[in-house]
Amino acid sequence: YIYLDVDISNDGRMNEEVRHRIGEARKASGALQKLWKNRRMSNEAKVGMYEGIVEPSLLYGCEAWVMNVHERRKVEAVEMSCLRSICGVRRIDRISNVEI
């Protein structure tokens, strides 16, 4: 069932919607990769763009979501992936999410 562009399954689960939102956020982040790599742009400006473009793509309709732990972790992983890109930190750099 789709209501206001939010996909709700018959059993009330949101896994398809979460998957769709993650895909949309990754598309938005991918489109901004050149800006994330721009060393002349401040991290504050990049985070502002993340909060204005990527985050709304990821969290659209989240007020209606009932997520389990697995889905919540997926959303958090996408958020951290974007923030790592903005900061120029790779997973192999072994810097914790808390530090970012």
Domain residue extents for the chain: 2-93
At residue 41, the 3 state secondary structure works out as coil
Q: Is the pTM of this model over 0.75?
A: yes
Please write the tens of the pLDDT for every residue from 29-88.
999 999 999 999 999 999 999 999 999 999 988 877 788 899 999 999 999 999 999 988
Residue 67 near residue 75 (C-beta atoms within 8 A): yes
Determine the Cα–Cα distance for residues 64 and 75; give it in Å rounded to an integer.
15
Q: How far apart are the first and last CA of the chain?
A: 37
